Amino acid sequence: MQPSISAKTISYVFVFVLLCIYLVPILLVFNVSLKSFEDYLNNPFSIASQFNFSNYTEAWKQGNFSDYLLNSLLYTGVTTVVSIILAIFAAFPIARGYIAWGGFFYLLFVMSQFLPNPVVAQYRLMLFLRDNVHSDIGYNSKIGYMLLRTSGAGLVFMMFVGYIKSISRELDEAAGIDGAGYLRFLFQIIMPLIKPIIATGVILTVIGTWNDLVGPIQFLSSPEHFPITAGLKEFRGQYGNNWPLLACAVMIVAAPLVILFLFIQKYIVNGALAGAIKS
């Protein structure tokens, strides 16, 4: 059925208006980031007359963004890799029935989405670890924060179980007959085979960790441990009214994931879709 011309026109107008509501704020922030402070005060939203990139170097230096960026890279890299491996360790034996009580454990892991807010006891746990085990793995430590963010349960786990079930079991038997061990089979056969769903899981985890604002604010108190989200909040506290500098900071924080997004859009879309259908 072909939509009528007028219906198409209305659709384009609707989408165009919505596009403006999404793009204009982002473009305006970019525009402000190029202005000098005086220019911003006089004409806040005129098109920047000259590109004032010195704002960026200043924001970068004043805001310690190189430190925050390194922390974010560390947190995102480690928690993503470990979470994905943990999710495979959990999903494979459950999908195949290689451990007893698989159905029960499946439900237990899926339940992670619906649990009562654990933050009060997490806070106590982190304080306990700091005071009784080591100050480097408890409250206000890099490792402590990564431990809290790392999880093999949840949506990624569910997607993995669904995907692994679609891979033929005969593969396991053939590899077993050839003498492959469990660990070797997981890393050399299964992981390459489930690459598409791993890509999706990686992206979902990266977006979640990189953009986590609440976790650092709750469990990290020294700025030297902050990732860029908390760093941005800190920066805003200091430069509350200097919008050109703040806008640069916003651009600096947003850039890495947006660039990544441009390259791997396909996987993100597939990821959101896969997550939806499987659950």
Considering only residues 77, 103, 176, 196, which one is a binding residue for other proteins as defined by CB under 8 A? Answer: 176
Stretch that binds other proteins, among 51-59, 63-71, 94-102, 189-197 (CB under 8 A): 94-102
**Closest alpha carbon to 252 in 65, 105, 75:** 65
Judged by CB under 8 A, does residue 133 bind other proteins?
no
Judged by CB under 8 A, does residue 5 bind other proteins?
no
Question: What's the closest the beta carbon of residue 37 comes to other proteins, in angstroms?
Answer: 12
Question: What's the closest the beta carbon of residue 90 comes to other proteins, in angstroms?
Answer: 4
- Structure-block tokens of residue 164: 């692994």
Judged by CB under 8 A, does residue 103 bind other proteins?
no
Judged by CB under 8 A, does residue 81 bind other proteins?
no
Whole-number Cα distances in Å, 27 to 17, 20, 35, 45, 274: 15, 10, 13, 10, 31
Question: What's the closest the beta carbon of residue 82 comes to other proteins, in angstroms?
Answer: 9
- CA atoms within 13 Å, Cβ hemisphere of 60: 11
Q: Which is nearer to other proteins, 70 or 174 (CB)?
A: 174
**Closest alpha carbon to 201 in 149, 274, 255:** 274
Judged by CB under 8 A, does residue 165 bind other proteins?
no
Rounded distance, CA 208 to CA 163, Å? 21
Cα dihedral across residues 256, 258, 261, 263: positive or negative? negative
- Cβ count within 10 A of residue 140: 17
Question: What's the closest the beta carbon of residue 88 comes to other proteins, in angstroms?
Answer: 9
For other proteins, the binding residues in 20-79 under the rule CB under 8 A are: 21-23, 25-26, 28-29, 32, 40-41, 44-45
Considering only residues 175, 191, 193, 199, which one is a binding residue for other proteins as defined by CB under 8 A? Answer: 175
For other proteins, the binding residues in 189-248 under the rule CB under 8 A are: 207, 210-211, 213-214, 217-218, 228-230, 232-233, 236, 243, 246-247
Q: Which is nearer to other proteins, 44 or 103 (CB)?
A: 44
| 162: helix, strand or coil | helix
Considering only residues 95, 202, 250, 267, which one is a binding residue for other proteins as defined by CB under 8 A? Answer: 250
Question: What's the closest the beta carbon of residue 73 comes to other proteins, in angstroms?
Answer: 15
Considering only residues 51, 53, 104, 123, which one is a binding residue for other proteins as defined by CB under 8 A? Answer: 123
- Cβ count within 10 A of residue 130: 17
Task: State how far Cα 39 lies from the chain centre.
Answer: 36
Stretch that binds other proteins, among 54-62, 63-71, 111-119, 193-201 (CB under 8 A): 111-119
Rounded distance, CA 113 to CA 61, Å? 40
Considering only residues 98, 136, 165, 188, which one is a binding residue for other proteins as defined by CB under 8 A? Answer: 98
**Closest alpha carbon to 61 in 186, 239, 204:** 239
φ and ψ of 134, to 5 deg = -160, 140
